[in-house]
């Protein structure tokens, strides 16, 4: 039971980074300027580095013939546990930045808790990852303010992005049964205690960015328990292509 919960928890941690990393990878060569293009590509690489750490550990927990590649590439859509937020498309640069900021703020809070995990391996991954995520947050929070306090057009685009993406933000803090078990065991944090801190931090940046989150938003849930938007299937079709086309391939 504990091993199964630990395995599922590692998927919850890794899948967010995997899907968001894939989304950011789609932008390589398409950034609004060279520096930002390279920065977003580096964020994607950082996230995939974290994914490898989580999935290598998950493969050891799963045993048998599991590998980091099979866990990443050979699961079906409903077996992915990423939040709905990270699978949303790159509609424009404002959407990319707003999605990134909403996730980075959560990710930073999460890793600061995971460094104290009773699971030494998870704590080690968090300690290695936190510096990267601090950098991610610096990029996305700075761009939020640049767009929001820029031109009338950039502010409108950021507000439109927030209006659409905000509905997916609270899923990050709705614990699954697995996350409840991990919190009780001291492996992961109680997500509900992180929610008010998150709201305080994001709303501070919203204020500096001249945008407002809808108070009457109807929040969407389901990704963490395997019910996804139509976008995930398209992401996986590209993400998994090589492993599906050439089974057991090795570099």
Q: What is the DSSP letter of 88?
A: S
Grade residue 168 by pLDDT with cuts at 50, 70 and 90.
very high
Q: How far apart are the C-alpha atoms of 239 and 75, rounded to whole Å? A: 11
pLDDT value at residue 1:
62
**pLDDT tens digits, residue range 96-134?**
999 999 999 999 999 999 999 999 999 999 999 999 999
pLDDT of residue 60: 95
Nearest of 205, 200, 94 to residue 145 by alpha carbon:
205
Tell the burial category of 152 from Cβ atoms under 10 Å away from its Cβ (0-12, 13-18, 19+). Answer: exposed
pLDDT at 95: 98
pTM of the prediction? Answer: 0.95
Q: How many alpha carbons lie under 13 Å from residue 91 in its C-beta half-sphere?
A: 15
d(CA 152, CA 88): 24
Cα gap 223→194, rounded to integer Å: 19
List the one residue out of 190, 222, 211, 228 whose CA is nearest residue 110: 190
Q: Is pLDDT at 250 greater than 80 in this prediction?
A: no
Cα 124 off chain centre by: 19
pLDDT in the model for residue 122: 98
Higher pLDDT, 240 or 84: 84
Tell me the pLDDT tens digit for each residue of 27-46. 888 878 888 889 899 999 99
**Domains in the chain with CATH codes:** 2-245 (1.20.1260.10)
Return the pLDDT at 243.
84
The rounded percent of the chain whose pLDDT value lies above 90 is 86
| Mean pLDDT on 182-206 | 97
Residue 91's SS3 state is coil
Q: What is the pLDDT, as a whole number, of residue 218?
A: 94
- The average confidence (pLDDT) of the chain is 95
Q: How much of the chain exceeds pLDDT 70, in percent?
A: 99
């Amino acid at each position: 039971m504990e091993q199964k919960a630990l395995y599922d928890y590692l998927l919850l941690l890794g899948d967010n980074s995997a899907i968001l990393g894939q989304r950011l990878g789609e932008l390589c060569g398409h950034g609004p300027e060279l520096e930002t293009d390279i920065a977003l590509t580096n964020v994607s690489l950082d996230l995939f580095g974290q994914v490898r750490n989580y999935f290598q550990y998950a493969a050891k927990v799963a045993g048998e013939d599991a590998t980091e590649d099979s866990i990443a590439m050979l699961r079906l859509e409903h077996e992915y546990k990423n939040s709905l937020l990270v699978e949303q498309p790159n509609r424009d640069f404002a959407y990319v930045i707003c999605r990134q900021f909403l996730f980075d703020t959560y990710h930073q809070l999460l890793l600061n808790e995971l460094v104290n995990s009773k699971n030494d391996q998870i704590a080690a991954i968090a300690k290695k990852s936190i510096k990267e995520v601090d950098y991610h947050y610096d990029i996305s929070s700075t761009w939020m303010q640049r767009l929001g306090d820029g031109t009338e057009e950039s502010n409108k685009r950021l507000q439109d992005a927030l209006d659409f993406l905000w509905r997916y933000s609270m899923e990050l803090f709705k614990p699954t049964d697995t996350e409840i078990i991990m919190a009780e065991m001291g492996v992961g944090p109680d997500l509900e205690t992180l929610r008010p801190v998150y709201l305080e931090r994001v709303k501070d940046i919203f204020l500096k960015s001249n945008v407002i989150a809808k108070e009457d938003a109807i929040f969407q849930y389901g990704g963490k328990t395997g019910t996804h938007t139509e976008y995930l299937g398209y992401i996986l079709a590209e993400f998994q292509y090589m492993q599906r086309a050439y089974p057991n391939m090795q570099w």
